[in-house]
Amino acid sequence: MKCLLIASESAEVLFHWTDPEFQQNVQKQYGASQEDGQGLPAFEDSISTLFAPIIISCITMVDRLRDSYTSFTTENHHIYVLHQFDECLYIAVNGDGEEGECDLRRKIYVVKKMTEVLFGMVTLSSNLLRKELRPQDTEQRARLWKHLQSLLQTYGHLRENDQSFLVEAVERLIHPTLCEQCIEFLERRLVQQLNSSGERAGEEVMHAFILVHTKLLAFYSSRNASSLSTSDLLVLIIMAQNMYPSNTDSDDPNPEVENDRRTSGSGPESFYTPEPSPPPDRGSSSSGGFCGRCCSMAEDSLQTLEVPPPDPSTPRRVFLEVSLKDGLYPMMPHSMYCLPLWPGITLVLLTKIPTSAVAMSVYTFLEAFAKLEKRLSEGQEGSAATRGQRTIHEVRGKLDKFIKALGPTEIQVCWIEFKNLAFTRGGPGFSRHLIPSCKKMKTQLCAVYRQCFLLESGSSSIPQRLSPGLQERAQSMVQEKLMDWKDFLLVKSRRNITMDFPGLIHFICVDRSTGQMIAPSLNLTERNTSELGKGPLAQFIRRKVWTLVNTTRRYLQKGYSTVTFRDGDFYFCYFLWFENETGFKLEAGDLPVLSDDSAPIGMLAWDYYRKLLRYYSKSHQGEVVKCYELLTVHLGVVPAEIILQHCRQLASKLWEPSRNPLL
């Protein structure tokens, strides 16, 4: 009994997702009220009828009281959580007891993040976002809603089954030698040759990474690229999983492969080094470039690759955060290419499109108008409203040139109107009378952005994408590189790290400064077992770990950085601490206390830890501050001093450069 809905202030449904139980319940409820001889009403109409009173009530309270309820529970124990972003109301519902208020609130924020990645700065204009989420063409709307529903279902599956999405951090495969080789390959061969090709249509590969299921094998960013935020990377992994879902039982080889591929010894650092691929035929030309692709692969190996060539429709437009020397630019347009290598292993390319500078200009102008509107709304008028960086005075000349280059458009009329009000003698100047004109300019800038990056009619006749042939060659190059490792990687993704601490059942260690985590496997399928084996005990521990994470987040929300408690036969610990770049532990101090209806703690939908690091760094000026988390599950019979010793050893060893240089 689950549902998520996005609605406008006029109670128009902009998007909905329901599970089969909720859909059946709604159809049963509204089907019974139909007159004899009439069919069931359209499901969208039923949803609209069901939620209309709640939407109207919430909007009315906001208009009259400037406040509204954020959650409520009905007599039949259905939980409703509501959150309004600008003029769009998000409602999440659960009626089966599997999700609480925190889970539903997190789901709302995740959907909001997904819309930002899919639609970019259009999300800053409620009117334009409504057009994107609810196209007039019913077939287009059905495709879009199906895509969003599929993304939401994929996220829900990962949230329930994958530890990296439980703690919202990226997990990397721990094999330093192979990781280093792959990063070098991506840098010196793949990205370099893609960016020098004449078939890239002006696009430039900025990031390239290889996924094994949801784990990161290798990640490379070009020298002039901005770092990719953890939040964006997690969403991209969701999208990759949505395109090519991992089917563990069919994707992974027999787990015994791992035993055959290890040399004598123990621990995660003993690995098998495979024999090289068979040499090419004498008649074939060997080359590191595209002209001689796959020459070193045996014919029988080529025949076993059941990967279809990339579809020209594969690239997706995504909008990601870019951090440059002159500032932060959110929601910049990129193209995402998701190329399947083998089932469970995927190559992802992120390219910068030729017109991305337009998006940076639009954001600069939007930021200036947003600051001005905010200050005018707060009562700051005259010169007080135009202080600071990126003010209207600073961007006026650039905006004149920008609008002139666009030609006769509606934004030109709005800009002339704004200048007459703000800069003409006898006009109201920088006063509250300028607020409506600021809103118009923001909407028009978002419309320009939408025309350039979302509407098909706004694209040029030449497709701005890597050619299908170029994608195929990139795919083949990486397949050739990883041919001898693919089975090992699939097994390794399920057994990434082992434990050698007596009495320690499980742990999760997270570096919140980089957004990366390390943990033993907890994946349980018919063929694959976790470090705890299979059966009731493994399932029980897995449920306990999920509960522990939710519990620690509630305490962290209240300002606690350390949590320890005993639950039956088990002892749970949670620690959050800060270090400087030399590894010296810093005093924790007081953490900020958040309200119950605040944004969820995590790194996917809202980067709590980035804000926490900024908050903590204020008292440590001139130092690079890092943040870590450690969760452990021990047997209850283990003495407390041994538990603390294990925690200290884990905290010091897991991120040692000598152990994992690429983490």
Of 59 and 289, the structure prediction assigns the larger pLDDT to: 59
Read off the pLDDT of residues 512-539 as tens digits, 9 standing for 90 and up.
999 999 999 886 554 555 555 556 777 8
Averaged over 339-351, what is the pLDDT? 95
* Alpha-carbon dihedral sign for residues 314, 316, 321, 326: positive
Read off the pLDDT of residues 92-150 as tens digits, 9 standing for 90 and up.
999 998 999 999 999 999 999 999 999 999 999 999 999 999 999 989 999 999 999 99
Query: What beta strand segments (E) does 583-658 contain?
Result: 585-586, 625-635
Count of H helices and E strands in the chain?
A: 21, 17
User: Residue 79: which of 57, 94, 68, 69 has the closest Cα?
Assistant: 94
Read off the pLDDT of residues 208-232 as tens digits, 9 standing for 90 and up.
999 999 999 999 999 889 999 999 9
Output DSSP code: residue 530. B
On the question of pLDDT at 267 being above 70, the answer is: no
Query: What is the SS3 assignment for 79-102?
Result: EEEEEEECCEEEEEEECCCCCCHH
Among 395-404, 463-472, 505-514, the range scoring the smallest mean pLDDT is 463-472
Read off the pLDDT of residues 589-598 as tens digits, 9 standing for 90 and up.
889 999 988 9
Which amino acid is present at 550?
Answer: N
What is the Cα–Cα distance from 191 to 338, expressed in whole angstroms? 15
Give me the chain's average pLDDT, please: 84
Which amino acid is present at 598?
Answer: S
> Dihedral, CA atoms, 367, 372, 373, 379, nearest 10 degrees?
150
* pLDDT reported for residue 589: 81
SS3 at position 76: coil
595-615 b/e (C-beta count within 10 Å ≥ 16 → b):
eeeebbbbbbbbbbbbebbee
> Dihedral, CA atoms, 499, 503, 508, 513, nearest 10 degrees?
-90
Phi, psi torsion values for 624, nearest 5 degrees: -85, 115
Element at 420 (helix H, strand E)? helix 410-422
Q: How far is CA 641 from the centre of its chain?
A: 39
Element at 111 (helix H, strand E)? helix 101-119
Global pTM? Answer: 0.87
Q: What percent of the chain has pLDDT over 70?
A: 83
Structure token pair of residue 574: 């949670």
Q: 481 vs 143, 190, 348, CA distance in Å?
A: 36, 11, 15
* pLDDT reported for residue 297: 34
Q: Sorting pLDDT into bands at 50, 70 and 90, what band is 359?
A: very high
Q: How far is CA 595 from the centre of its chain?
A: 24
On the question of pLDDT at 294 being above 70, the answer is: no
- Most confident region among 59-73, 182-196, 290-304 by mean pLDDT: 182-196
Give the total residue count for the chain: 663
Q: What is the CA radius of gyration of the chain?
A: 27
